[in-house]
Amino acid sequence: MRMLNKGRPLLVLALLGSVATGCANSGESPRDADADTKETLRINRMDGYYEGADIKLPLDAYALTKEQRRDYRSVVYELSNACMKGFGLTWPRPIEQESREGDNSRRYGVVDARHTKQFGYGVPLPEGVTHAEALKVGRQNTERTRALPQKTRDVYTGERVRNHAGKRVPKGGCRGEAYGILGLPPQGMTSTTLDALLYESWDRARNHRIVLDAVVQWSACMSEAGHTYKTPEDAVADSAWQRQGDPSRAESATSTADVRCKRDAMLVEKWHAIEVKNQERLIREKADVLKELGSQVKALAKRIEQVRAEG
């Protein structure tokens, strides 16, 4: 894990008073910020964000980690396949293709300068895996499942079947039984509540005047580099980048400039700092809901460990 470069304090932004927008030596006049919080917001330059450092957020504590989700998928497979064998059937293990990036690495668009030349706006593939290999694995996963008899798929999902081979199929199928062993409902792990809070905190930060000003700086920087986009979202959504395989030179150059301009505008630092405050506020406001959610996540993580130990 790369260590975060703490940098030096660059901005002290009082969200109910005067704020500095832009770099400390920019000479811009302070202006009022949105009154989202009464706390002082301190923003440091964090060059590590643009070089692969993890981006942490308060609401991360209410979700499984990347490693725990990997274990979750593995346990669900093992449990559901054991159930399938009880019906004289088997279910293929999916071939994992996990990005090398952290959970929040794309929350503010493409930010890791180490990967733009090779992947452009695409998600970095696992170490040593080419685009052609990744596409092949994806097709294999799909084809292996599609090639199974319909009855096998029905027993796995619980759809259109109640009994098979003289035995009753569990609610939700063998996959539903696996979820049940982990203390989950037949449809598995859901995150509707957390997703809503994550989006709210992201959206409010995205529309905060400090971030809006940083986006203007980013856009001007991109224009100077020959790329005309008003927002980072516009750059990511450019139809020219909708492809399979390796990025074009144009995509690599544009995404590289994108990260450089974000760094120059301190866009990620500002957006992240404001979103942290938003999430801290939500944690206070939704304390009861999040307490219950946190307990559920801890219980699930513990159960995953127990099943792995038993297996």
pLDDT (tens digit per residue) in 234-261? 999 999 999 888 999 999 999 999 999 9
DSSP 64: -
Long-range contact set of residues 226-229: C-beta below 8 Å, sequence gap at least 24: 227/254, 227/257, 227/258
Q: Which residues of the chain have pLDDT under 70?
A: 1-39
Q: Which residues contact 133 (CB under 8 A, 6 or more apart)?
A: none
Asked if 258 and 232 touch (Cβ cutoff 8 Å), the reply is yes
How many residues does the structure list for the chain?
A: 311
Nearest Cα neighbor of 193 from 50, 59, 90 is 59
* pLDDT score recorded for residue 32: 38
Instruction: Give the number of C-alpha atoms closer than 13 A to the C-alpha of residue 56, restricted to the C-beta side.
Output: 9
- Tell me if residue 120 falls in helix, strand or coil: coil
Please list, residue by residue across 226-258, b when 16 or more beta carbons sit within 10 angstroms of its beta carbon and e when fewer do.
ebebebbeebeeeeebeeeeebeeebbbbbbbb
Residue 121 zone, left/alpha/beta (φ > 0; ψ -120 to 50; rest): alpha
Nearest Cα neighbor of 275 from 194, 216, 198, 192 is 198
* pLDDT score recorded for residue 135: 86
* pLDDT score recorded for residue 102: 86
